[in-house]
């Protein structure tokens, strides 16, 4: 994006002292937000939240709640590795309505497409950023449906993510979605994720065989689980960084938990081999048999709410 375009966006949307649009990595525009309650960064590329640092009780910024790989691509057509990618209109290698084709992008096209900045608003101690994405002739070549997606990100003492999808066409469609959140942790082998005990899940490392969770989730190897029919709030206990992250969600019937482990990380070109140790992905989602059907004119909103609390 040219400096003139960034200047135009600032003239329309910037909030002096709170929010501005600036050049990010490789010249991709990003929104930088700083309030007494938190700071954050959001790229227009993929409407991708790459940083959220809430203030600690002493007023100082905490460690970033989100992980971002130092080898991440920041380029048109490529996904950013880390932060909160938006998986839409399908999760995984293909849409539920389309055949397996190598040309179809993993996790859909929303995370690799530039979104439109609609508004930046100040609400008390928080800043609301609103971005949108609509169907185009290019998107129709991948997914033949008319839609409008609006992403509302509220940055404050908590991070609120609201992805609303509307069917703007004349025919019904079905989609899957996930907010693929990379939580920054001090040591993935020490964390515990509580809230899914006795929940059934599909183990993607074992041919999607259905299993049952027993106790808290821990990472001892590559983990890729889809927890089914659950609206539970989760708590990520991180002893290495001495904090607890709480993940609440609304209108979400599945939760994905992922960490590639050493073996999986070494296969990813946009992740350093050791970086798997520093994140835990916990994703509010609607995937597999919990896909969302929308008739013409209908909307659905997926919400995730993150809170971070230092240990006493």
CA atoms within 13 A on the CB side of 310: 13
CA atoms within 13 A on the CB side of 167: 18
Q: CA dist 149 to 47, 155, 166, 190, Å?
A: 11, 19, 6, 37
Longest dimension (CA), the chain: 55
CA gap 158, 307 in Å, rounded: 5
What would the pLDDT profile of 182-227 be if each residue is shown by its tens digit?
A: 999 999 999 999 999 999 999 999 999 999 999 999 999 999 999 9
> What pLDDT was estimated at residue 97?
44
CA gap 277, 56 in Å, rounded: 24
For 222, phi and psi rounded to 5 degrees?
-55, 125
CA gap 309, 127 in Å, rounded: 20
Ordered alpha helix ranges (H), the chain: 3-13, 137-140, 261-266
For residue 66, the SS3 value is strand
Kindly report the pTM of this predicted structure. 0.95
Q: Is 301 exposed, middle or buried (0-12, 13-18, 19+ CB in 10 A)?
A: middle
CA gap 260, 294 in Å, rounded: 33
Tell me which of 13, 48, 145, 180 is the catalytic residue.
Answer: 180
Q: Note if 210 is an active site residue.
A: no
Q: Note if 180 is an active site residue.
A: yes
Q: Look at the chain and count its residues.
A: 312
What domains, with CATH codes, occur in the chain? 3-310 (2.70.98.10)
> What pLDDT was estimated at residue 96?
43
Identify whether 89 is preceded by a cis peptide bond (ω within 30 of 0).
Answer: yes
Q: What is the pLDDT along the chain (312 residues), one digit of tens a residue?
A: 656 699 999 999 999 999 999 999 999 999 999 999 999 999 999 999 999 999 987 767 679 999 999 999 999 999 999 999 999 999 987 544 444 455 688 899 999 999 999 999 999 999 999 999 999 999 999 999 999 999 999 999 999 999 999 999 999 999 999 999 999 999 999 999 999 999 999 999 999 999 999 999 999 999 999 999 999 999 999 999 999 999 999 999 999 999 999 989 999 999 999 999 999 999 999 999 999 999 999 999 999 999 999 986
Q: How far separated are the first and last CA of the chain, in Å rounded? A: 44
> What pLDDT was estimated at residue 108?
95
Identify whether 264 is preceded by a cis peptide bond (ω within 30 of 0).
Answer: no
CA gap 155, 151 in Å, rounded: 13
Q: CA dist 75 to 45, 68, 127, 171, 288, Å?
A: 9, 15, 27, 34, 29
| CA 186 and chain centroid, separation | 20
For 23, phi and psi rounded to 5 degrees?
-70, 130
> What pLDDT was estimated at residue 95?
46
């Amino acid at each position: 994006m040219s400096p003139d375009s960034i200047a135009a966006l600032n003239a329309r949307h910037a909030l002096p002292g709170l929010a501005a649009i600036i050049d990010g990595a490789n010249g991709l525009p990003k929104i930088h937000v700083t309030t007494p309650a938190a700071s954050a960064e959001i790229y227009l590329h993929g409407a991708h939240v790459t940083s959220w640092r809430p203030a600690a009780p002493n007023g100082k910024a905490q460690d970033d709640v989100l992980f971002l790989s130092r080898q991440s691509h920041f380029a048109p057509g490529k996904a950013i590795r880390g932060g909160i990618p938006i998986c839409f209109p399908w999760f995984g290698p293909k849409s539920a309505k389309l055949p397996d084709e190598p040309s179809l992008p993993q996790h859909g096209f929303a995370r690799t497409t530039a979104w439109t900045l609609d508004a930046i608003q100040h609400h008390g101690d928080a800043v609301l950023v609103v971005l949108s994405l609509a169907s185009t002739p290019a998107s129709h070549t991948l997914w033949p449906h008319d839609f409008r997606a609006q992403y509302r990100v509220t940055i404050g003492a908590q991070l609120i993510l609201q992805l609303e999808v509307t069917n703007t066409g004349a025919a019904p469609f079905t989609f899957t979605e996930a907010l693929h959140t990379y939580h920054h942790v001090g040591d993935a082998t020490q964390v515990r994720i509580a809230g899914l005990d006795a929940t059934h899940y599909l183990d993607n490392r074992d041919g999607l065989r259905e299993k049952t969770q027993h106790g808290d989730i821990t990472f001892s190897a590559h983990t890729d689980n889809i927890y089914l029919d659950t609206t539970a709030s989760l708590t990520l206990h991180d002893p290495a960084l001495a904090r607890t992250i709480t993940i609440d969600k609304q209108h979400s019937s599945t939760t994905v938990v992922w960490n590639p482990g050493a073996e999986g990380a070494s296969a990813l070109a946009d992740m350093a081999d050791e970086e798997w140790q520093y994140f835990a992905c916990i994703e509010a989602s609607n995937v597999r048999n919990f896909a969302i059907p929308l008739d013409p004119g209908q909307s659905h909103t997926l919400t995730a709410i993150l809170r971070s609390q230092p240990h006493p």
